[in-house]
Structure 1
Amino acid sequence: MAEITDTPDMDGNISREPLSRAIGDRYLQYALSTIMHRALPDARDGLKPVHRRILFAMRGLRLDPNGAFRKCAKIVGEVMGNYHPHGDQAIYDALARLAQDFNVRYPLVDGQGNFGNVDGDNPAAQRYTEARLAAVAAAMMEGLAENAVDFRPNYDGSEEEPEVLPAAFPNLLANGSSGIAVGMATNIPPHNVGEVIDAALYLIKTPNAGIDKLTEFIPGPDFPTGGTIVEPPAAIREAYATGRGAFRLRSVWQREELGRGQWQIVVTEIPYQVQKSKLIERIAELINSKKLPILADIRDESAEDIRIVLEPKARTVDPATLMEALFRQTDLETRFSLNMNVLIDGRTPQVCSLRDVLRAFLDHRRDVLVRRSRHRMEKIDRRLEVLEGYIVAFLNLDRVIEIIRTEDEPKPVLMAEFELTDVQAEAILNMRLRSLRKLEEMELRKERDDLIAERAELEDLLGSEELQWSRIADQLRETRKEFGAPAKYKGITAAESLADLKRTDGADYPTTARRSGFADAPEAAEVPLEAMIEREPITVVCSQMGWIRAMKGHIALDTEMKFKDGDGPRFIFHAETTDKLVLFGTNGRFYTLAASNLPGGRGMGEPVRLMIDLPNEAEIVALFAHDATRKLLVASTAGDGFVVPEADIVAQTRSGKQALNVRDAKAAVCRPVGGDHVAVVGENRKVLIFPLDELPEMARGKGVRLQKYKDGGLSDAMTFTLAEGLSWKDPAGRTRTETELGDYLGKRAGSGRMAPRGFPRNNKF
């Protein structure tokens, strides 16, 4: 049975309803409030409510682009007290972000003071900073006093605020937006306003334009901090078509020669929203942990512009290899996710394509144009009415003066005698004496004629959709002229510096020229392991119970070492930190370990089963340093085996790579191939020798029969050179070499003969 809760309404009356319904209704209200009034931007002006209220409050304070600055504390108080009843710090954070040119492509607020920096430092307190509207923000609010948009009461009904701004500037795409709502989020990158307006103009001309054509005008985002976009064009088109996707963004770097063969790498642009200080800390960590030994040092020489200097370990280092390693391990390369989730008409959240958001902006501009035109017509009509009254008064000036002087109530007499309206009579009575001159009549007639002509134009405009779109196109061209890149700079890449633009033209376009360039997506080339790890000698030690460690340096292999109680040595060999180690298990799988990841030799090491997925029932057959030029002989206890190239056994995952298929048997042998013959010994102590070329070479399989057994199975196998003889250690520990091996020679898969006297009792060569 559902739990019942008592719910009081606004008047204090209590109603009873199930708890689940009460919670559901209230959570839905909270979710809708977050989606519509906090987290998602409006597709028409690209603003969230807090940003819109900040700009509107600054307009009310008369903080015009050419006016004086005011303390941000005053602005925050105005916003919080009249429009946005939330925390002052949240409002100030939003205000400060609108002034940060490294966060906003076209800042809407002109800040004075410390508003933070690309290092990640916070802005100064609001009592220390000052702000005013930027020219872009003024364009966003052009027409607010002309009934361009609807207004609604503020939170307490004492003021009115706009539901949306007129937005002569395409802010949604130009500055982007990001936010997290309930069950949905948005993330839109900034773009170049010149390119956005070009695409909008083309969409006006060709309403059915497809995404392929629009991306010719908008090839991709244009981030405030520059960088190089390396996402394939096809992926960018797909992202713009669906409203979801991602863009790979890389830092811009160059090799700087120092003379005498010395050089350094200088990073001049970093990806969007990456904090420079944390980026440098991350690279310094790689240097200190010796995970990038080809990089010697990093310095931050940034002033107004970014300049991060990377010093290589040696002049022989390949700069491209160094940067690829850094791109993989640091935020010198990032992915910016696209999720174009916006509010359509301020109400409906929807993931839109590039064409959808352009269409929403253009439809809004048309609605603004129509409303402003009608508002202007109403003002013209009211003014014409007054002008007609003035002209009547001038034509009958003596009589009008006589009525005003003699009548106690001149207004009704004027209305009756000259057929004037109430508005006209009131205007005549309020007219100043200095206006009663001949020249004024001529000016009134001229003003009336001009207004009649303007009204006729407005009537034509409101009656023709074609004229409306033509006017919108003209307005967009004016916006592009003021804020967008000139045509001669269209399509510049990041390689063309702004300094060159200033030098050739004498004009400065720091906010208009494209900052983010494009490059072909680099292939996912494998960065050499040597570039990631410092090359040092080590001695690998693995115990019988599978505990593995790496001792520094090449120590003597017969050195006595400590092991856990009941454990002892199993494998010990020399290697280097750049080596790959290969482990072969009785399940027939090869596992790969990085020597650089082995635990140090101070303790007892770690179980190798924690590093790879070696089953508990499987044992270790062999452990050695990988050599891609070698071949290996592998064999099972059933007597089957083959030769496998060592280059084919490297595993990329913890689960290893299957090579020798074993069903009712176990893998027993894994030895390097060397020589021309194979020697096999079974558990029955019979030895068989046959030519190596009788074994196939393969990457995976069961193999072929090496030796035949009636009972028991294979004990050991190895390859050797027949002319040099076969060697083993006798029970006394002396090495014995047998050269008379004719009795043991035979065909592969034979039974063999009993081992000679002195052969080891463990049946191992």
Structure 2
Amino acid sequence: MALTGPETPIGILDAPFDSALSERYLVYALSTITARSLPDVRDGLKPVHRRLLWAMRLLKLDPAQGYKKCARVVGDVIGKYHPHGDQSVYDAMVRLAQDFALRYPLVDGQGNFGNIDGDNAAAYRYTEARLTQVAIDLMDGLDEDAVAYRPTYNGEEQEPELFPGLFPNLLANGAAGIAVGMATSIPPHNAAELLDAAIALVDDRAADVLAYVRGPDFPTGGLVVDPPAVIAESYRTGRGSFRVRARWTVEREKGGGWQAVVSEIPYGVQKGKLIEGIAALINDKKLPILADVRDESDAVVRIVLEPRSRTVDAGVLMDGLFRLTDLEVRVPLNLNVLDHERTPRVMSLQQALAAWVDHQFVVLDRRTRHRLSKIADRIELLDGYLVAYLNLDRVIEIIRTEDEPKAVMIAEFDLTDRQAEAILNMRLRSLRRLEEFEIRKDRDALAKERAGLEALLESPVKQRNRMKRDLAKVRDRYGQETALGARRTTVEEAAPTRDIPLEAMIEREPITVILSQRGWIRALRGHADLGAADTLKFKEGDGPAFAFHAQTTDKLLLAAANGRFYTLAADKLPGGRGFGEPVRATVDLAGDVGIVALLKGVREGRLLVAATDGRGFVVPVADVLAETRKGKTVLTPRAGAQLKLVRPIAPADDYVAAIGDNRKMLVFPLAELVEMTRGQGLQLQRFRDGGLSDARTFVFADGLSWPMGGDSGRTRTETDLSAWRAARGAAGRMPPTGFPRDNRFG
């Protein structure tokens, strides 16, 4: 809105829009980072989780007490501490109670709190909850001034800034969150291993924590299969990921059959969606060696995978499932946390544990000083009681005769106001003689405790010893010999998933491949009769160019006149109905470039390729296969020449026969021809005029065969080839009598 007056009206701030917007967005961003999305390195909690546990503590929802409705807890949280939506608070509470989401649940839920299938929890009016012992350990010390408190958002209550307990919650339970411009993702770990590492860090901050922490420990188990070096690098930088696989076994059946049973799935994977994904693979025939999947889970996960036949290799089947489904996932590590100054930064595992240990020393100092103040207050009162016992008759006289006995006792016995008030509040039964001995005994014990605490504050060595003892006690509670503390995830290196054989990915079926002269390709089901009229149907003016039998698992090689080779998947060819589709729509082949050959590509085989000018070479099929539409350049013909032929080489072939347009034939050893992956090659045969007509490889000892004319189907074999045998590059001589007039070997 334009301002017409000379001065800015009251209530309107005249400021550049970009600066005003950036300042307000920065405030929002900082609030999201520091007060919502990132956990504190000292207790591993976000504000919503901390407020939930604090509210439950004030409601006295201890493990030994009864449950209370979650609606009551959520109401207290949003009414007193966390002014946000009730559903978001309840969702956070539900996650704290899910034993498949948290390694060490902080809330003990009663009712439907969701499941590993991905089903949501019931509404908070139906569910009940209380704290777990883990949460109690995490909040231990809140009554001893172990941490600072701050006012709530409305100033009516107080809430702790963080929790002081000796449970390493950040790494034990992990965290995940997305802030503005940054995120965090911390997988859960084994508490016993973390506490062992923390005990080592108490004495030596340079101690290698990886000697104790083997890797993540997920609540859903599974296997971490990364190499130790990869895990160590992730922990060193605070960034990386862990490759997590499902745990599976093979169950043998009578008769030789078997089935694979998955008993643990990767962390964060919903079982229902996982099974849907596997079922989709079966329906889409993307993994034909898998016949069926069944969910037989109850309290424990049990997913049964049935192979297509008993001859299927279990390792190949599972490798296929690891590659194609969430039976293997990557769990990210981004150890981005708020440090003790509330500054977000990415820490290494060593730094995060060291920061937690430093926090525990601060807590120890605060709890010790708090206890000293309590002891001082108690000793002050006990000293007053002793004065009263030593002067009991005079104290009774003062109380009976004086209108203001408190002031008189303070003046006469040099008491403090608290001591005098305590004496006046004493019961008559406390005046017995035995009570005096109890008071002296109590005072001596407190004095001894005070001396020990003062020595503790003055001695770093004693502080370290005390810290190690306290950590050891907690470690015993979560030791790996306990049900809760036992490691669930196995850390063992495994090879990457193998390339799945093509036969396992595609259902093997016979087909007949037909390519017309105009470049229309199709695949008929089954091995059709190549001589039948119904098989070779074409559009008017078109005719057959190539036709042969193949399998859907084959790779087909298409060679163009410019020397480029293209790879076609036999299972992706258009069906046999109609006339097919233009092959040039599948690969990037210009319309003016002719097609020289279409054949099955046997990966272990070799090919003889040659140009019209008689130059050629041998190329392995594996080096010809291409995965892109653009294909791969193999032969680079000289100016004026183009690719003439592509011939498969049988394993036993040892000679090459070549014939030119001038009807001169040459035979020379195959060993004289170079093997390469790209280029022009060597001269097969020298021509005075014309070029190369045909060439092929054969077994010299068996002679050279060619089809005879007509429809007889007979062949003729010339066994004595000494007249045509010469060195590569020779001119050759006229072929044997009866050789086809088209100068082709057939």
Distance 1:409 1:673, change over 3 A: closer
* 2:432 paired with 1:459: no
Residue deviations 1:427-449, cap 9 Å, x none? Answer: 22222333222222222222211
Spell out, residue by residue over 1:223-246, the C-alpha distance to the aligned partner (whole angstroms, 9 max, x if none): 111111111011111111111122
Partners of 2:155 and 2:10 in 1: CA distance: 22
Distance 1:753 1:692 in 2: 17
Corresponding letter in the other structure for 1:579: D
Give 1:556's aligned residue: 529
* Higher mean C-alpha displacement, 389-398 vs 715-724: 715-724
User: Paired residue for 1:572, among 547, 551, 559?
Assistant: 547
CA contact under 8 A between 2:190 and 2:487: conserved in structure 1?
yes
Question: How far apart are the structure 2 equivalents of 1:25 and 1:270?
Answer: 46
Q: CA deviation at 1:707?
A: 3.3
Whether contact under 8 Å (1:679, 1:687) holds in the other structure is: no
Structure 1 residues 238 and 673, CA, compared in 2 at 3 Å: closer, same or farther? Answer: closer
- Any residues of structure 2 matched to 1:107-506 within 5 Å, and which? 107-209=105-207, 213-345=208-340, 347-486=342-481
Give the aligned residue type for 2:330.
R
Q: Structure 1: state its 5+ residue gaps.
A: 487-508
Q: Residues 417, 609 of structure 1: CA spacing in aligned structure 2 closer, same or farther, 3 A cutoff?
A: farther
- Counterparts of residues 545-624 of structure 1 (less than 5 Å): 545-558=518-531, 559-560=534-535, 569-602=544-577, 605-609=580-584, 611-614=586-589, 618-624=593-599
Deviation at 1:751, TM superposition (A): 4.9
Query: Deviation of residue 325 (structure 1)?
Result: 1.5
1:641 aligns with 616
Deviation at 1:611, TM superposition (A): 4.6
SS of corresponding position for 1:41? coil
Q: CA deviation at 1:733?
A: 12
In 2, distance between residues paired with 1:711 and 1:397? 140
Q: CA RMSD in A?
A: 3.0
Question: Structure 2 vs 1, CA of residues 430 and 566 (structure 1 numbering), >3 Å: closer, same or farther?
Answer: farther
2:14 alignment partner, SS class: strand
Q: Secondary structure at the match of 2:486?
A: coil
CA deviation map 1:516-547 (0-9, x unaligned): 11223225533322222221111223344544
1:512 matched to which residue of 2? 485
Q: In 2, distance between residues paired with 1:4 and 1:198? A: 67
Q: What's 1:505 paired with?
A: none
| Inter-CA distance 750–697: structure 2 relative to 1 (3 Å threshold) | closer
CA distance in 2, matches of 1:463, 1:92: 46
Structure 1 residue 752: Cα displacement: 5.7
The one-letter code of the counterpart of 1:133 is: L
Question: 2:729 corresponds to which residue?
Answer: 749
Please tell me the residue identity of whatever aligns with 1:381: A
How far apart, CA to CA, are the structure 1 residues paired with 2:10 and 2:476? Answer: 59
**1:704 is matched by which residue type in structure 2?**
L
Alignment match, 1:503: none
Q: C-alpha offsets along residues 96-145 of structure 1, whole Å, 9 cap, x if unaligned?
A: 01111111000000000111111111111111111000000011111112
Helix, strand or coil: the match of 1:259? coil
User: Matches of 1:565 and 1:77 in 2, distance apart?
Assistant: 80
Distance 1:282 1:565, change over 3 A: farther
**Aligned-pair CA distance for 1:553:** 1.2
Counterpart of 2:92 in structure 1: which amino acid?
A
Structure 2 counterpart of 1:704, from 682, 699, 718: 682
Greater mean alpha carbon deviation, residues 597-606 or residues 443-452: 597-606
Shift of 1:685: 4.6
Structure 2: how far apart are the matches of 1:650 and 1:124?
56
Q: Distance in 1 between matches of 2:48 and 2:590?
A: 58
- Map Cα deviations across residues 676-707 of structure 1 (whole Å, 9 max, x no partner): 7645455x554433334374140323211123
Q: Distance in 1 between matches of 2:32 and 2:741?
A: 80
Supply the distance in 2 between the matched residues of 1:327 and 1:5 (Cα, whole angstroms).
66
CA distance in 2, matches of 1:733, 1:714: 28
Q: Per-residue deviation at 1:270?
A: 1.1
> What SS does structure 2 have at the residue aligned with 1:187?
strand
Cα pair 1:57 1:75 within 8 Å, conserved: yes
2:33 to 28, 32, 35: 35
Which residue of the partner structure matches residue 24 of structure 2?
A: 26
Contact residue 293 and residue 532 of structure 1 kept, 8 A: yes
Q: Give distance in 2, aligned partners of 1:569 and 1:752.
A: 33
CA distance in 2, matches of 1:385, 1:736: 122
Question: Do 1:715 and 1:764's aligned partners in 2 also have CA atoms closer than 8 Å?
Answer: no
The Cα shift of 1:19 comes to 1.3
> Partners of 1:230 and 1:80 in 2: how far apart?
43
The answer on whether the counterparts of 2:43 and 2:162 sit within 8 Å (CA) in structure 1 is yes
**Maintained 8 Å contact 2:666/2:730:** no
Pair 614,142 (structure 1): closer, same or farther in 2 beyond 3 Å: farther
Inter-partner Cα distance in structure 1 for 2:29 and 2:422: 54
1:604 to 1:22, Cα distance in 2 relative to 1, 3 A: farther
Q: CA deviation at 1:298?
A: 1.5
Q: Partner amino acid for 2:524? A: M
SS state of the match for residue 54, structure 2? helix
CA contact (8 A) 1:642 1:695 kept: no
Residue 406 of structure 2 aligns with an amino acid whose one-letter code is K
Q: Distance in 1 between matches of 2:518 and 2:72?
A: 72
What is aligned with 2:513? 540
Asked if the contact 1:725/1:741 (under 8 Å) is kept, the reply is no
Deviation at 1:618, TM superposition (A): 4.6
Q: Where does residue 501 of structure 1 map in the other structure?
A: none
Stretch moving more, 561-570 or 626-635: 561-570
Alignment partner of 1:693 is 2:670: yes
Structure 1 pair 457–277 and aligned structure 2 pair: CA distance change class (3 A): same
Change (3 A) 1:721 1:356: closer
Match of 2:642 among 666, 671, 678: 666
Q: Which moved more, 1:233-242 or 1:442-451?
A: 442-451
Further displaced range: 350-359 or 623-632: 623-632
How big is each residue's C-alpha offset from its partner over 1:14-34, in whole Å with a ceiling of 9 and x where there is no partner?
A: 332211111111221121111
How far apart are residue 587 of structure 1 and its match? 3.5
The 8 Å contact of residues 522 and 574 in structure 2, kept in 1 or not, is answered as yes
1:707 partner amino acid:
Q
Report SS of the residue matched to 2:13.
Answer: strand
Structure 2 spans left out of the alignment, 5+ residues = none
With normalisation by structure 2, the TM-score equals 0.91
* Residues 5, 729 of structure 1: alpha-carbon distance in 2 compared, 3 angstrom cutoff: farther
- Offset from partner CA, 1:234-276 (integer Å, 9 cap, x none): 1111111111122111111111122222222211111111111
Mapped contact 2:529–2:535 kept (Cα < 8 A) = no
Asked if structure 2 preserves the Cα contact closer than 8 Å seen for 1:686 and 1:752, the reply is no
Residues 715 and 29 of structure 1: CA distance in aligned 2, closer, same or farther (over 3 Å)? farther
Q: Write the deviation string for residues 374-411 of structure 1: whole angstroms up to 9, x where unpaired.
A: 11111111221122112112222222222222222222
**Does the aligned pair in 2 maintain the 1:685–1:763 contact within 8 Å?**
no
Aligned positions, number: 732
Give the 3 Å change call, closer, same or farther, for CA 523–762 of structure 1 in structure 2. same
Counterpart AA for 1:703: G
Question: Deviations 1:443-469 (Å, cap 9, x if unpaired)?
Answer: 222221111111111111111111112
* Matched-pair identity in %: 56
Inter-partner Cα distance in structure 1 for 2:645 and 2:690: 16
